[in-house]
Structure formats: C-alpha cells, structure tokens
Amino acid sequence: MPSGSKLKAGTNSVRSKTASVIWLIAVICALLLAVGALLIALNANQDNSIVTFVLNGADFLDGPFSRDNGVFNFDAKDAETKNALVNWGIAAVVYLIIGKVLDRIIRP
C-alpha cells in the first residue's frame, strides 16, 4: 500500500475516533441534564451527594437554559419542576443536535 493511502487511512481513523468522542460527550451532557430534570421532578433529596453532584453538573451545563433564569420561566404551581423539565429538556436536545452535527462534519 502506498504511503499516501496509509496517511489517509490514519487520518480517517483519527477523525472517526474524534467524532465518536465528541458524540459521546454530547450524549453524556444530555443524559446529565435529563437525569437532573428527573430528580427535580421526583423531588429527590438534595442533601444526597449523588443528587447534588448531578444537579450541580446540570446547572453547569445548562447555559441559557437555566432552571432559575432560562428561556422559559413558570410562576405557577410546581414552577421549579416545570422550569427544570422544559429548560433542561431543551438544553439536552441542543447538546444532542450540536453533537450530531459536529460528528457528521468531522467523521470521514
């Protein structure tokens, strides 16, 4: 096999692995946001260290889709739950869309 085709195969392998890692990171971010929203909806014990870790991680990842001051803000009954479900749900979908777009752009 000529050296040019070896280089191309190696480059394609690196691009494929990079795209897979980016997609995996996007899925993990979306999963963390979804689990955080579920924990808020289930009124999980926020004194638990695992629950605190998930909620802090989701708060870190939410960007403009914050449960406190996000795109949608509810004021009625169960406002905290609705804010978390809607805003973090949208953020999770955005992570998945961006991750898939980047995956398609990078993958050979």
Quickly count: other Cβ atoms within 10 Å of residue 103's Cβ.
18
CA 101/CA 93 separation, integer angstroms: 12
pLDDT digits (tens, 9 = 90+) for 47-97: 999 999 999 999 999 888 888 887 877 788 888 888 889 999 999 999 999
CA 88/CA 82 separation, integer angstroms: 10
Is 76 or 18 the better-scoring residue by pLDDT? 18
Please, are residues 80 and 66 in contact by the beta-carbon 8 Å criterion?
no
Single pTM value for the model: 0.85
pLDDT at residue number 2: 57
